[in-house]
Chain A
Amino acid sequence: MSEVPPPPHRRRAHTSARDLERYAALFAERTGVMRSSAMRDLMAITASPEVISLAGGLPDTSTFPPQSFAAQMTRIAQESAAEALQYGPTEGFEETRDCILQVMGAEGMLPDPHDIIVTTGGQQGIDLICKTLVDPGDVVICEAPTYPGAVPVFCSYQADVVQVECDEDGMRVGELEGLLERLKAESRRVKFIYSVPTFQNPAGVTMSLSRRQHLVELARRHELLIVEDNPYGLLRYGGEPMPPLYQLDGGDFVIYVGTLSKILSPGIRLGWTVAPPPVMEKIVLGKQAADLCTSTLTQYFVREYFREGRWQHYIDDLVEIYRRRRDAMLEALREHFPAAATWTEPEGGLFIWATLPEYIDTSDLLAKALRADVAFVPGEAAYVDGRGGSSMRLNFSGVSEAEIREGVRRIGNVIAEQVELYEALTGEQQVAGRPAAAVEPVDDANVVPFRKAAEGGA
C-alpha cells in the first residue's frame, strides 16, 4: 500500500474525431496554413536503419572529439555550475557575442556587438524576424527553391510568400527588380527578402557578386529589409569566398542570421541574429516573450569551446571530410543519373539539387526509392506553389562516401526504370540533356534556370 504507483505512461484521455472538431473551432486562423505533410509521413520510413538517407540536413557530429566535449563540460561543472544553471540575459552573454564576432570576422564582417542577439538556433532568428515584421497578408520574398524549413515560419505568420527563380548564380535579382515594381503597382506590401546567398539550401548555389551588389542596392532603393541566412558560409570546398550581403550593405538594410549548427553542433541550438538597433529592440522583446533567454549551459559550453582556440581547426577538418563527400556524390551522379538529369555543383554547404525530366514526379519516385532503401527530399517541399515536382535535394554531409555512392546508385536505378517506362509509353527516346555544370553562366540573359520560369513571380 505504501508503494507509489508508477505514473501512467499514456496520459492522453480519449479523444474522438468529434472532440477534435470541437478543438478545431478554437484554433487560430494561422494554424490553417500550418500543416504536416504527406511527405512527412513518408519520411517516417526513412528512419529505418537499412535506408540510406540522403534526405537529412545533418552535419556529421561524430567528428567532434568526445574528450574535448567532456573536458569542457567538466570545467563548466567545476568552475561555474551555479551560473551555468541559471537564467541569462535575453540578448545572450557578452562572452557568447564575442565568440560570434570571431565567427563573423572569419567571413569579413564586423558588426557592433550590441546589434547581436543570441537565439535558440538560427531557426528562432527567422521566427523572431517574422514576429517583428510580418502582418497577415504582407509579402515575404524568397528564392525558388527556398529552405523548406523557412516556409512554415512564413506561413505561420500568414505571410504571402512570393518566390523568385534561382539559377547557378543564385536568386535572379533582375527578375526580383521587376517583381518589386509589380508588387508596388498592385499595392502589395513587401516586408523582406529572405535569401540564403551562399551554398543555398536546397539548391547548393552561391549568389554572384554582381547580383549581391544589385540585391543590396534594390533593398536600399525600396527601403526593404533583406534577411540573409548564412549557416554554411565557412564550409567552402572550392572557389573564392564571396562577401556576405551584410558586409556589402554595412548592416543598414540587411538582417543577418547565423548559427553554430553546421560548424559546431545543431544539438546545442545556438544561433544569432544581427539587426539595426530599432529592429533589434523589437526582436529582443519578441525573444523575451518566446523563451526569455537562450540556454545558459549551451552558451557556457560555446565560451569554453572558443577559449580552447581550436574552432577554426575543427571547421578545417569538416571541410576536408565534406569536400570528399561532395566529390563522391558528384562522381556518383555522373555515373548513375540519366543524361537528361541536371544537378548543381556546389562549392560548399551540404546539398546538391538535382532535376530530372519533367514527367518524373519526385514525390512518387521517393515511394519507389524507399523500396530500394534510399531516401531524398522531393523538390516540392522547397516551393510554395506546387512547383519543383521533378527536382530533389540530396545531402552529402551526414553519410559516408561509400553510402553516398551506393545511395546515388540506387536512386539512379529507380530513375532509369521510370525513364525506360516513359519511353515505352510514349515511344519516344528522350533527348539527352546537358548537365548543369556544362552551362557557363555569363549574365542574367544567358543563364539557364533550373526549370522553365513560371508565369509571373507568384
Chain B
Amino acid sequence: MKVAVLKGGRSLERGVSLRSGARVEDALERLGHEVVPVDAGPDLVGRLRAERPEVAFVALHGVGGEDGTAQELLELLDIPFTGPGVAACVRCMDKVLAKHAMREAGLPTPDWFAFGQTAFRELGAAEALGELEGRLGFPLVVKPSRGGSSLGVKFAAKDREVPGALVAAFSYDDRVLLERHVEGRELAVSVLGDEALPIVEAIPVSGDRYDFEARYEIGRTRFACPAELGEDERRAVTEVALGAYRALGCSGFARVDLILAADGPQVLEANAIPGLTDTSLLPQAAEVAGLSFERLVERILDLAMPARDS
C-alpha cells in the first residue's frame, strides 16, 4: 500500500513529530508498504495530490497537525487517514473544550476556570483572580488551552505567582485554564480501536512533574507498565479513560492522561495523536499487550481504512 507519513510541520513539537514519523516510516517499510515521507509545509496539498497515497499516517503533534487542521485537508482530498477524525482532534487539542465535553458526559476532571486574553485586556478579569484561592485553592496549575506537550504549563503556589504563570501560558495560546491541582499517581491509558491497552504509570525520578524535557528522555521519568494497581483501581481507571475516549469522539487511537487521586481517577486530557517515538507511552503499552511496533502500526493503518472509505 502507498502510505504518506505526515510529520514535522511548524508546531512546537516538530522535533518529537519528526522522531515519531521516522519510526513509523521504518515500520511501514519493514511491513512492505511504499512510504512517502511528507514534512508538512506549504507544499503539503501539492505533495498529496501528486503522490495520491492510499492512506495517510498522521504523525504530526501539536497545533496544525493534532488539532484537526491536517485532518480537514485530508478529508477534503478524500484521503483516508489514521487516528481520530476532525471533530475529536479539535476537542482533544483544546483542553477547555475537552473538559466541558467530559464533564457533560459525567466524567471526573479537575475543577477549572478558563479565560481568553480579552477577558483580562477588556473585561477586567484580573480583579476576579482573587476568587481563585477560595474556588480552586493553591497550588493551582496554569495551562495553555491548546498545546500537546507540557510547554507553558506552570504551577502557581500562591496568588503572587498567578500573573507570571498566566503570561507564560498565554505565550502558547490565546486561552488558558487555571486548574485545581490534584495530588495522585500519573497514569496514561492508550486506547487502540476501542480497547484499552495496559496502563502506564509515569513515576518522576527527580525534579518537577511538569517538566517538558522529562517527557522525552530516558532516566528522568521512570515508566511502569502495566502500572501496579489493584483490580478495582484498574477497572475504574480503564472505564473512565474509555469514557473520555468516547465522549471526545475518538477513533483509531488516542492516549488519555489521568491522575489517580485518593478518591478515584480524574482525567487531565486526551491526546489525539500521542507520540510514537522510542520513549513514547503508546508503543510501550502496546508492547506489553504483545503488539510489536510493526503490528501496532499495521493495526492503526487497518483502523483507518474501512471506517473512512464511505
The yes or no answer to B76 lying at the interface (CB within 8 A) is no
Size class of B's contact patch? 35 or more
CB contacts (< 8 Å) of A418 on chain B: these are 167, 170-171
For A15, the closest partner residue in chain B by CB is B278
Specify which of B12, B169, B279 is in contact with A42 (CB 8 Å cutoff): B12
Chain B window 28-59, contacts with chain A (Cβ cutoff 8 Å), 1 for yes, 0 for no = 01100000000000000000000000000000
For A424, the closest partner residue in chain B by CB is B120
The yes or no answer to B112 lying at the interface (CB within 8 A) is no
**Beta-carbon contact of B278 and A20 below 8 Å:** yes
Q: Report the separation of the CA atoms of residues A15 and B13 in the bound assembly, to the nearest whole angstrom.
A: 22
For A358, the closest partner residue in chain B by CB is B164
CB contacts (< 8 Å) of A41 on chain B: these are 12-16, 216
For A359, the closest partner residue in chain B by CB is B164
Q: Report the separation of the CA atoms of residues A67 and B15 in the bound assembly, to the nearest whole angstrom.
A: 38
Q: Report the separation of the CA atoms of residues A365 and B12 in the bound assembly, to the nearest whole angstrom.
A: 12
**Beta-carbon contact of B167 and A360 below 8 Å:** yes
**Beta-carbon contact of B26 and A10 below 8 Å:** yes
CB contacts (< 8 Å) of A35 on chain B: these are 213, 217
Number of A-B contacts (CB under 8 A): 108
Within 8 A of A (CB), among B257-310: 278-280, 283-284, 287, 292-294
Most chain A CB within a 10 A radius of its CB, from B13, B16, B164: B164
CB contacts (< 8 Å) of A45 on chain B: these are 10, 12, 14
Chain A window 69-83, contacts with chain B (Cβ cutoff 8 Å), 1 for yes, 0 for no = 000000000000000
Question: Chain B nearest CB: distance from A11 CB in Å?
Answer: 10
Question: Chain A nearest CB: distance from B256 CB in Å?
Answer: 19
**Beta-carbon contact of A422 and B167 below 8 Å:** yes
**Beta-carbon contact of B126 and A38 below 8 Å:** no
The yes or no answer to A368 lying at the interface (CB within 8 A) is yes
Within 8 A of A (CB), among B102-124: 117, 120-121
Chain B window 175-214, contacts with chain A (Cβ cutoff 8 Å), 1 for yes, 0 for no = 0000000000000000000000000000000000000110
Question: Chain A nearest CB: distance from B65 CB in Å?
Answer: 13
Specify which of A17, A20, A420 is in contact with B121 (CB 8 Å cutoff): A420
Q: Report the separation of the CA atoms of residues A20 and B120 in the bound assembly, to the nearest whole angstrom.
A: 46
**Beta-carbon contact of A367 and B172 below 8 Å:** yes
Q: Report the separation of the CA atoms of residues A425 and B119 in the bound assembly, to the nearest whole angstrom.
A: 10
Specify which of B121, B126, B167 is in contact with A359 (CB 8 Å cutoff): B167
Most chain B CB within a 10 A radius of its CB, from A41, A44, A422: A41
CB contacts (< 8 Å) of A24 on chain B: these are 218-219
The yes or no answer to B137 lying at the interface (CB within 8 A) is no
**Beta-carbon contact of B120 and A421 below 8 Å:** yes
CB contacts (< 8 Å) of A36 on chain B: these are 217
**Beta-carbon contact of B292 and A18 below 8 Å:** no
For B294, the closest partner residue in chain A by CB is A14
**Beta-carbon contact of B120 and A17 below 8 Å:** no
Q: Report the separation of the CA atoms of residues A403 and B284 in the bound assembly, to the nearest whole angstrom.
A: 45
The yes or no answer to A48 lying at the interface (CB within 8 A) is yes
**Beta-carbon contact of A44 and B120 below 8 Å:** no
Given A12-B26, A32-B219, does the pair A40, B172 have CB atoms closer than 8 Å? Answer: no
The yes or no answer to A134 lying at the interface (CB within 8 A) is no
Excluding A14-B26, A17-B278, 18 further A-B contacts by CB distance (< 8 Å) are A10-B29, A15-B278, A16-B278, A16-B283, A16-B287, A20-B278, A20-B279, A41-B216, A42-B15, A44-B14, A359-B167, A360-B167, A364-B169, A364-B172, A418-B171, A420-B121, A421-B121, A425-B162
Q: Chain A: residues with CB nearer than 8 A to chain B?
A: 10, 12, 14-21, 24, 32, 35-38, 40-42, 44-45, 48, 359-361, 364-365, 367-368, 370, 418, 420-422, 424-427
